[in-house]
Amino acid sequence: MKVTVKSWHAIAQWRWDTGQSGDDAEGEEDVCGICRVPYEACCPSCKMPGDDCPLMWGECTHVFHMHCIIKWLGTQASKQQCPMDRRPWVTASQRKGASNNNNANPNANPNGAVPNANA
Amino acid sequence: MNVILKLASLGIKLLKANDFETWVLSLEVMGESLYKDEVFALQFRFEPQYPISSPEVVFVNDEVYRVPIHPHVYSNGHICASILGNEWSPVLSVTAVCITLQSMLASCTEKERPPDNDRYVRSAPKSPKNTRFHYDGELLPTV
C-alpha cells in the first residue's frame, strides 16, 4: 500500500534542555564537542534523534551525546577524564541548575528530554 | 565559511580536503618569530575512529614545503607534542591543533633539531602515532 501525505499539522516540538539558549549569535546550533553534530540531532552512530540517542551530563556540567562520551570513556586514552576539562568524569545524577524535576537521571533512564510543547 | 576566513587571518589555510582521510593545511606564524616569512604544511590523517582516536599529524616535506627546524620537530616531519599523543582529547578540532602547533613554533627561542634527531629518524615508525614520545620537556622518544 502506498501512502501519500497530503498535509500535516504539527502540534508540539521538543529539544534537549542543555541550559543554553540554543542557537548562538551566529545562528549556529549548539553541537556536541566530540562529534560536532548538533545536540538536537543524533550522534554519528545513530540514525534518528530522540530518546535512543540521549545526551549525558558530567558533574563538571559538560554535555555530550551519550554514545560519544561513552565511546571516549571506553578508551584507555581517555584516562576517564572529561574531554573538555580533563577532570575525572562523573556522570551527573541530575543536571545542575535544572529548572524543574522533569529532568531525568541520565544514569537510570536515558530520557533527558524535556518536552517543550509549543503548540 | 566564516571559519575559513577567520583562519586565513591567523595564517592557517586549507590546502587539501578532498576526503575524510587526509587533509593538508598550510601554516605560518604571524607576527615576530624565528619563522617569520616561512610557510609550512601540515598533513592530517584521520582513522575511522577519529575523533575518539587522535589524528596523525606531520609536517610535510616535499618540493614546496620544508619541515620547520624546531626542538620538538624531527626532520622527517614527526612532531613531539603531547596533545597529539597521550593528551589527545576528542574535542580538539583541526583548528585547535593548528593553533597549538603555531604557538609551539611562535614560542621557539632557538632553531634547532631535537638532540636525538638522527637516531630517531633512522628507526622511526612510518606514523608518529606509533612512537611513544616522552612529553616531560625532555626529548626522549622510545621507538
Tell me the three cell numbers of residue A77. 586514552
Report the residue from A26, A75, A84 with minimal CB separation from B91: A84
Find cell 542543555 and name the residue. A18
Residues B55 and B49: their CA atoms lie apart, in Å, by 9
Tell me the three cell numbers of residue B47. 582513522
> Which stretch of A7-16, A68-77, B54-63 has the lowest confidence by average pLDDT?
A7-16
CB contact under 8 A, B52 and A75: yes
Residues A57 and A106: their CA atoms lie apart, in Å, by 8
Q: Binning pLDDT at 50, 70 and 90, where does residue A96 land?
A: low
* Res B99: pLDDT: 94
In chain A, which residue's Cα lies nearest the Cα of B83?
A: A77
Report the residue from B88, B91, B93 with minimal CB separation from A77: B88
- Residues from chain A that touch B88, judged by Cβ atoms under 8 A, are 77
> Residue A64: beta bridge partners?
A56
Q: DSSP labels for chain A?
A: ------------EEEE--SS-SS-TTSPPPB-TTT--BTTS--TT-SS-STTS-EEEBTTS-EEEHHHHHHHHTSGGGTTB-TTT-SBP-B-SS-TT-SSTT---TTT----EEEE---
* Res A113: pLDDT: 46
CB contact under 8 A, B89 and A75: no
* Res A33: pLDDT: 95
pLDDT tens digits, B54-85: 999 999 999 999 999 999 999 999 999 999 99
* Res A104: pLDDT: 42
CB contact under 8 A, B51 and A71: no
Q: State mean pLDDT over A41-70.
A: 94
Interface list for B 90-109 with A (CB within 8 A): 90-91, 93
pLDDT exceeds cutoff 70 at A4 = yes
Residues B107 and A48: their CA atoms lie apart, in Å, by 46
Q: What is the 3-state secondary structure (H, E, C) of B82-137?
A: HHHCCCCCCCCCHHHHHHHHHHHHHCCCCCCCCCCHHHHHHHCCCCHHHCECCCCC
ipTM for the predicted complex comes to 0.81
Report whether A114 contacts A19 (CB < 8 A): no
* Res A117: pLDDT: 44
- Residues from chain B that touch A77, judged by Cβ atoms under 8 A, are 53-54, 86, 88
Tell me which residues of chain B have a pLDDT lower than 50: 138-143
pLDDT exceeds cutoff 60 at A25 = no
* Res A93: pLDDT: 82
How far A80 CA sits from the closest chain B CA (Å)? 11
pLDDT exceeds cutoff 70 at A64 = yes
Cis status of the peptide bond prior to B55, with omega within 30 of 0: no
Q: Which domains does chain B have, with CATH numbers?
A: 1-124 (3.10.110.10)
Q: Where are the domains of chain A?
A: 51-94
List the CATH code of the domain at A51-94. 3.30.40.10
Report whether A16 contacts A40 (CB < 8 A): yes
